[in-house]
């Protein structure tokens, strides 16, 4: 365990961030003890988990502003934690920017936001700077994102300097993304089931969780499946691309007039169409083996069916249709009500 110092020209002041490297089989209770008793993080009243693409994606300025403000409004008004994959890429970087911009425009008391990055240790660029000799822990550690390899080593990503805390999950692999998914979902479930929000006197309410899906690839689909298995409601940001749009499309195709919104009705050509959409909506350029590629495309279809089996937990939010950041708040509230 140590405290890495992130240094970035885009940030006026270098800030200390707490981090820990844990085995992927570490008990959730042990991690919670660290967060609460050693890092002194109070139990959240809500957990907003954000998942999506690890590549940079594009959204119109108005939509970007609306989403960032809506996310931060939802977090600050509810006392929520924001949880992501913690790297300085794609959606995680996007969320980090939202946290940074919020802190620049609010007082210290109002800017006390917990942005927890849960990443795979084996994909962290320049992770050697976070360890001492013989792979021991290092305190303090100095992590300078300006000194990272450029371009970054294939299969690795730098940590995002705007997250406030990091849990780095190690299963012994290198350059393998997604190791943290089951760990992250299990930790959120543990906190949800064992902590109380304290929102009402003499009444304990367990901490609710909601998953926001913004763009994303195969691992994003896997994250959504793992989440609904734990009965976590999810908000799909339609129009953000790839996985989010794939889920929104499948959701729309299986809606039927006169049938309960909780029931998915599959058209006869559903499998064929969704296999075709998976083939071009996701990036398979790095997959050279056609058999493996076909199997992964089939896995996308399998995952979408697992999701649709829990249709009542899905809320599709079309960002293009929203006029204000309050719409994000409302989408999160609507999703939370579905999880009750």
> How remote is the C-alpha of 287 from its chain's centroid?
24
pLDDT tens, residue by residue, 293-312: 999 999 999 999 999 999 99
| The two structure tokens encoding residue 210 | 């909601």
pLDDT given for residue 1 in this prediction: 46
- Averaged pLDDT, 32-54: 93
The answer to whether residue 87 scores a pLDDT higher than 90 is yes
CATH for 4-338, options being 3.10.580.10, 3.40.50.450, 3.30.499.10, 3.40.50.11440: 3.40.50.450
pTM (2 decimals)?
0.85
Domain assignments of the chain as residue spans, ordered by start: 4-338
* Spatial separation of the C-alpha atoms in residues 214 and 220, rounded to whole Å: 9
| Residue 252 CB partners (closer than 8 Å, separation 6+) | 316
Sign for the pseudo-dihedral over CA of 47, 337, 221, 306: positive
Q: What is the secondary structure of 211-272 as a DSSP string?
A: EEEES--HHHHHHHHHHHHTT--EEEEETS-HHHHHHHHHHHHT--TTS-TTS----TTHHH
- Averaged pLDDT, 269-290: 93
| The two structure tokens encoding residue 311 | 């249709």
* Spatial separation of the C-alpha atoms in residues 257 and 144, rounded to whole Å: 55
pLDDT tens, residue by residue, 114-133: 999 999 999 999 888 888 87
pLDDT given for residue 10 in this prediction: 30
Contact 145, 130 (CB under 8 A): no
- pLDDT greater at residue 292 or residue 147: 292
The answer to whether residue 57 scores a pLDDT higher than 90 is no
pLDDT given for residue 56 in this prediction: 63
């Amino acid at each position: 365990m140590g405290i890495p110092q992130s240094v970035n020209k885009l940030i006026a002041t270098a800030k200390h961030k707490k981090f820990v490297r844990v085995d992927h089989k570490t008990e959730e209770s042990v991690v919670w003890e660290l967060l609460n008793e050693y890092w002194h993080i109070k139990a959240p009243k809500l957990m907003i988990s954000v998942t999506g693409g690890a590549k940079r994606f594009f959204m119109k300025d108005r939509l970007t502003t609306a989403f960032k403000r809506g996310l931060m409004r939802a977090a600050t008004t509810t006392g929520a934690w924001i949880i992501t994959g913690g790297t300085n890429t794609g959606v995680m970087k996007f969320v980090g920017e939202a946290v940074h911009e919020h802190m620049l425009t609010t007082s210290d008391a109002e800017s006390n936001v917990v942005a927890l990055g849960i990443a795979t240790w084996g994909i962290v660029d320049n992770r050697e700077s976070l360890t001492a000799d013989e792979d021991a822990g290092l305190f303090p550690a100095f992590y300078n994102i300006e000194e990272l390899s450029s371009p970054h080593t294939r299969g690795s990503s730098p940590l995002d300097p705007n997250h406030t805390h990091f849990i780095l999950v190690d299963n012994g692999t290198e350059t393998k993304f997604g190791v943290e998914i089951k760990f992250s979902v299990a930790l959120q479930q543990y906190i949800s089931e064992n902590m109380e929000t304290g929102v009402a006197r003499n009444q304990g309410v367990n901490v609710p969780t909601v998953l926001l899906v913004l763009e994303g690839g195969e691992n994003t689909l896997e994250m959504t499946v793992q989440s609904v298995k734990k009965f976590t409601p999810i908000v799909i940001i339609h129009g953000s691309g790839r996985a989010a749009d794939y889920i929104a499309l499948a959701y729309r195709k299986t809606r039927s007039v006169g049938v309960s919104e909780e029931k998915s009705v599959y058209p006869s050509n559903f499998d064929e169409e969704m296999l075709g959409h998976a083939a071009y909506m996701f990036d398979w350029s790095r997959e050279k083996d056609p058999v493996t590629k076909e199997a992964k495309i089939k896995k996308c279809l399998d995952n979408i069916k697992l999701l649709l089996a829990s249709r009542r937990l899905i809320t599709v939010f079309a960002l293009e249709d929203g006029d204000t950041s309050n719409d994000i708040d409302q989408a999160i509230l609507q999703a939370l009500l579905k999880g009750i």
